[in-house]
Structure formats: structure tokens, C-alpha cells
Chains A and B, each alone.
Chain A
Amino acid sequence: MVFADLPTLVDIVFWIIALFTVCGSVAIISVNNVFKSAVLLALTMVSVAILYFLLSADFIGVIQILVYVGAVSVLIAFAVMLVKDVPRSNSANNLINLSIIPSTIFLVIIAFAIGAENWITKTTINYEEPLNEIVVSNVSWIGELLIREYFISFQIAGLILLAALIGALALLRREG
């Protein structure tokens, strides 16, 4: 569908960023140094965020950068620095040749499924405001969904955070 007409600027940007994301992901798992992996992870996450921007999901894009680049990657980098000798201890995995076969099969199946499917491009959620306004400010729209349609999921997510927090504290006490 992309090549039906001449590619627009958005298409060109999309393909460049997509290529960048895939190469970055492959690089994360192929470098031996954990610290380099963390940096590459941050870069890949930024390019994923750009993909979100291209889909006009700017709020998700910003959150992606804040959480994954700002918090997760930095946390990994800290963990690597605090633990002795980790950067050099990540030896190459000797199952790498074996793992190529199932992952290739999986890739082919997924690519085939994505290519063959007639994807639906609208959602059944009833918008209260016109679509172009939602695209302009999807923060308020997401907020509204969270306390309306997805109220219960939102509350359960709170319980998950509580469980994770208490669980982590209990484990810390066990160590001490």
C-alpha cells in the first residue's frame, strides 16, 4: 500500500526509522558488553518513540522516551556500573546458530499474517468529540478512557504496582 503512489515524506522517514529500530535491536543482543547494550537499547527506544509520533500518538511517544530512555535504560546503566565485572562477563551464547531457525520461522509466519490480513482501521469506541480533535490532543482522550471505558483495568494496574512494591520489599528483607 505504501508503494501504491510515490512515497511521501512520512513514508521515507518511516522506513529509515524502521530500519534503524531493527538494526538497533539486533545490535543489542549481539554486542558482548552489557553497557553498550544499554546505550543501544536507549537509542532503539528513541526510534520506537519516533514511530509512535508518526502514528500521531504523541503522548505515547513522550511516555516512551520518559520511561524507557529516561528511567529503564539509566537504571540498567546504573546496575551495570554497581556490579563488578559485568561488562566483560557477558559471554557469547553458543545457542545462537540453533536459535536462528525458530526465529526465522516465526518471522515468516508473522510477516505472512500481517501481510495477508485485511486490518480494520477504525475502532468501535464511540468518540465524544470529532476524530481530528482527538488527534490534536490525545492526552485528554487517554485520560478520559482511563477513567471511563478502562476504569477497571486502570484500578487493577494500581494493585499490580502495590504487589510489585511489596514483593520487592519482602525480597529485600529476605536478603538482609
Chain B
Amino acid sequence: MSFQDFLIISPEIVISFTAISVFLLDLFINNKKFLVNVSIAGLLFSFILTLGLSNGWLIESPGVYAFFSSIKLDEFSLFFKVLIILSGVAVIGSSGEYISSNIESKGEFLGLLLLSITGMLLLVSSVELITVWVSLELTAIPLVALVALGKNDTSLEASLKFLILSAVSSVVILYGLVFLYGYSGSTYFNDIFSYISSTTSSPEDLIVLNYGLLIGIILLVLGISFKLAAFPFQMWVPDVYQGAPTPITAYLSVVSKAAGFAVLLRIIYSVLGGNDFSVILSNLFSIIAVFSMTIGNVMALRQNDIKRLLAYSTIAHAGYLLIGVASLNISGIGENLYSGPQGVLYYLAGYAFTNLTAFLLIIGVSKSIGTFELSGFAGLRKKSPLTSFVLAVSVISLLGIPPTVGFMSKIFIFSAAVNTNLTWLAIVGVINSVISAYYYLRILKIVFVDPENNQSEIKVSKSISLITLIGMIGILLLGLFPSLILEIAEIAVMSIVNI
């Protein structure tokens, strides 16, 4: 271990120390607003460090290993680190008012959230099975407590469901990792990759001889689907999203999902690499994608609670994203080899803007109207035109109508599927988008057409207004100029591919 090793994980070190200092300051300081500022300062400092790592101020160039090859800093992990830290800033920055009125243990709330962010950052850069698993636990355990910190009893129930399912999924992942280790004799991604490539010659060999590897990967994927909020571990999503404090719901729907996809992509492209093994995997992801999309969209049709509705919508979006994951270029020839994972990265960036905007607005509006029922949003247009406009932009982006980022990301994902001979999957995706139009447009109808049924005044706090406005600009900007992210995404994907 050299000094450079610690420099490489300096963003994580800064955030975990911020978490510990928030725990300690909570004991002495009565002004809880100060704790929010400390958390944001810590996140911004680690953001600067992340930029430093990517620009060569701190280390020579990305693509280096640290701590006996357990951690790898490459463009891929930097992409996700920036995404996660900025989402964390948005969530904490906009929830200051929510925390002071709805959360009793304010210091613990912020500190645990920061610890979970630390876990996510370590997760996206770890290239060793044990580090991956331990980081996964670090992301999940603070979240169990965070979900329970809401004031109502549904929050406790949600937390219990989250705890049990998270434990089950962790065990499933661990079982998969054991198979991988037993198969290859190593916990390092690179060693497993070279072992797989050295022992197999033809695709038939790989499938017939290595049931252990196959079962290991399948268990791993099924376990990670808990993080993605995808089938078959999707049943916790509606209850937990509804019961959890809304900032935590926003965090779960964006950051947790992004980190899950990061692990999934890294395992596919770094561990299995250019193997023809991916045929089976592609089928597996297609099945999960179809089920996630269909379950999410069909169940969302009948929801009347906006948090529950968006929960089912995130299940559907996990399905769309998995189409991109399933689009593995099996032949290994032709252009746009990695258009699938590139699309996933672009989709995740856009989804972060879109979903954070939607959830943060819901925090602001529901504080004024005092309910999460859809009917409470009736007549929002008259009460607060700007809020309803921003909400409309984010809902349109979730639905996928131009000129928003949601439209462009669906285009990329579906065209990647068509490029890799998964046209049927793209068609299922399009049909599902049509189904989703029903419930997204229903939100717009309620906001813009329905007459108002209560006289409450809408007051959205300044921080929420600012962050959602930035979010809206991001949605439109990324939708009009997708190359802003796509070029970075291409470099990021290339940095994890083992050939």
C-alpha cells in the first residue's frame, strides 16, 4: 500500500470522514441546518477530488489499481462516482427543510446517507469479489435504518421488508460469488477472466463443462436485481418507496439503481469479457427485462399514490435499462460494438436528472398539500405554473417524448437491441412505453386539466426550486445534445472491457 492507493480512494475517505464528523457534531450542535451544510461541503470536496483524479491532478491517469488490485480507478468508475456524488448533493441539498420537519434523528439521517454513498462509490470501483460484496452491504445496511426513520408506521413496515429482502438478495449474491471462486480459484476479476479464457476453447465447451460458472453468474445476476429494482426481486419496491422518507425514495430510485447497473456491467465485461458465454446471459437479461417492464407498467396503471406510481415506474425503467444490458454484441464484429452498455450509461445519467427532478418536486408540493394522493395534485397548474411545468417536463421525459433525455435514451437502448438481433425485445419495449403513456399522461391530466379540490397554497422551498430547475435544464440539454454524455460513456465502457 502506497500513498497513491489512498489518493485513489480519497473521495470515499472524505465522505466517510464527513459522515463520522456529522455523527459527532450532532452531539454538540443544535443548529441542524449546519449539519446539512457540512454534508454538502464534504460531498462537494470529494467531487473536486474525483475531478482531480480524472484530470490527472492527483494521479497520472485513470486506469490504475489500488490495494492489491481490489480497487480500480478507471473512466467507468469515475463516470459513476460523478453521477452518485452529484445525485447525493441534489438529494441532501433539497431535503434540508424535509429533514428539519419530518425526521427526528437528523444527524443520524445525514451520516447514514453519507455512509451509504461511500458504499456506492466503493462498489462502482471494486474489481474483487469480496470487496464487491462488502461494499454492497455498506450500501444496504444504512438504507435499512434510513427507510425506518420516517415518522409514520408504514416506514417501519417498509424497513422490515427492505431488511429481509436485502438479506435474502445478499445471500443469493454470496452464493453466486462462492461458485465463481470455486470455479476459478481467485476472487480478482482479472484472474477469473484469464482463467475462463484459458480453460475454454469453444462456446459449446464453456456451456457444457461449466455449470458451476453458469449457476454462479445466474445467482449473482438474480441477487443484483434487488439493487436494480428488477424482476424477480422487485416486490419490495412499492412498499418501501411509499413508506420511506421521500428523499430516501429519490436516492434509492436513482443512486442505488445506478450502482447496481455499474456492478452488473463490470461483471459482464470485465469478468466474462468477450466470451461467447454471453449468449445465455443475453437470454437471461432479456427475460428479466420483459418481466420487469411488464410488471412495472401494468401494476402502475391502477395506482393512486404518486410515490407508489413512481415506484412501479422505476421497475419498468429497470426493465428498459436491462434491454441495453442484454444487447451484448455476440458476434464481436461490426460497428458500435458496445452501443448497449453505452446506452445504459446515457440512460442512467438522464434518468438521474429526470427522476430526481420528479421526486424532489413531489417533496416540495406534498409538503404544501399534505398528501401523496394523485388527486391532491389537481389544479396545480393554477396554483403554481412553474412547478407544474417542471413536473410536466420530468414526466414527459419519463414517458420518452422528444425533446427530452428520456426519448433519446430509449432510442439508443432500442436501437442497440435491434443492432444485436434482439428486435423482438425492442418491440416489447416500445409496446410497454405505450402502456406507460396511460399513467404518465394521467398525472399531466390531473395537474393541468382537473379542477382544484383544495385551497392549499403551494410553497416550494428555494433549494428545491433551484435544484429542480437545474434538473429540468439537464433533461432538455441532454435530450438535445446527447453527445455530451455519449462520448464520455464510450470511453467509460471501453475502460472496463476485457478482451
Contact pick for B111, options A148, A160, A166, CB 8 Å: A166
* Cα(A118)–Cα(B185), bound, Å: 11
Q: In the bound complex, do residue B122 and residue A156 qualify as a contact, i.e. CB atoms below 8 Å apart? A: yes
- Given A152-B70, A156-B119, A174-B104: A110 in contact with B215 (beta carbons within 8 A): yes
Evaluate contact between A153 and B104: CB separation under 8 angstroms. no
Q: How far is the CB of A93 from chain B (nearest CB, A)?
A: 15
> Is B1 interfacial (CB 8 A cutoff)?
yes
Size range of the interface on B? 35 or more
Interface string of B284-310 (1 = CB under 8 A from A): 000000000000000000000000000
Number of A-B contacts (CB under 8 A): 114
Assuming A120-B184, A156-B138, A170-B105, is B211 touching A148 (CB within 8 A)? no
Complex interface: stretch among B143-151, B314-322, B335-343, B390-398: B143-151
On chain A, the residues within 8 Å of B118 by CB distance are 159
Interface residue B23 (Cβ < 8 Å from any Cβ of A): yes
B residues near A148, Cβ cutoff 8 Å = 68
Instruction: Answer yes or no: B209 CB below 8 A from chain A CBs.
Output: yes
B108 cross-chain contacts in A, Cβ below 8 A: 166-167, 169-170
A163 interface neighbour in B115, B185, B210, B214, Cβ under 8 Å: B115
B182 vs chain A, min Cβ distance (A): 5
8 A Cβ contacts from B105-130 to A: 105, 108-109, 111-112, 115-116, 118-119, 122, 126, 128, 130
Task: Evaluate contact between A170 and B145: CB separation under 8 angstroms.
Answer: yes
Do the beta carbons of B20 and A151 come within 8 Å of each other?
no
* Contact status of A120 and B182, CB under 8 A, knowing A114-B212, A156-B135, A166-B112: yes
**C-alpha gap A121/B182 in the complex (Å):** 8
Residue from B70, B116, B195 whose CB has the most chain A CB atoms within 10 Å: B70
The yes or no answer to A117 lying at the interface (CB within 8 A) is yes
When chains A and B are docked, how far (Å) is the Cα of A98 from the Cα of B398?
38
Residues 110-162 (chain A) with a chain B CB within 8 angstroms: 110, 112-114, 116-125, 148-153, 156-157, 159-160, 162
Chain B residues with CB under 8 A of A118: 209
Q: Are B185 and A120 in contact (CB under 8 A)?
A: yes
Assess the B182–A171 pair: CB atoms within 8 A: no
Q: Is residue B438 contacting chain A, with contact meaning CB distance below 8 A?
A: no
Q: Which residue of B lies closest to A148 (CB)?
A: B68
A66 at the interface (CB under 8 A from B): no
Q: Does A88 contact B (CB under 8 A)?
A: no
State the Cβ distance, B8 to closest chain A Cβ, in Å. Answer: 10
Q: List 24 A-B contacts (CB under 8 A).
A: A117-B182, A117-B211, A117-B213, A118-B209, A119-B212, A120-B185, A123-B185, A124-B185, A148-B68, A149-B70, A150-B130, A151-B1, A151-B67, A151-B68, A152-B70, A152-B131, A156-B134, A160-B138, A162-B20, A166-B108, A167-B145, A171-B149, A173-B104, A174-B105
Task: Report B's interface with A, CB cutoff 8 A.
Answer: 1, 9, 16, 20, 23, 66-68, 70-71, 104-105, 108-109, 111-112, 115-116, 118-119, 122, 126, 128, 130-131, 134-135, 137-138, 141-142, 144-146, 148-149, 179, 182-186, 188, 191, 195, 209-215
**Chain A contact residues, CB within 8 Å of chain B:** 109-110, 112-114, 116-125, 148-153, 156-157, 159-160, 162-164, 166-171, 173-174
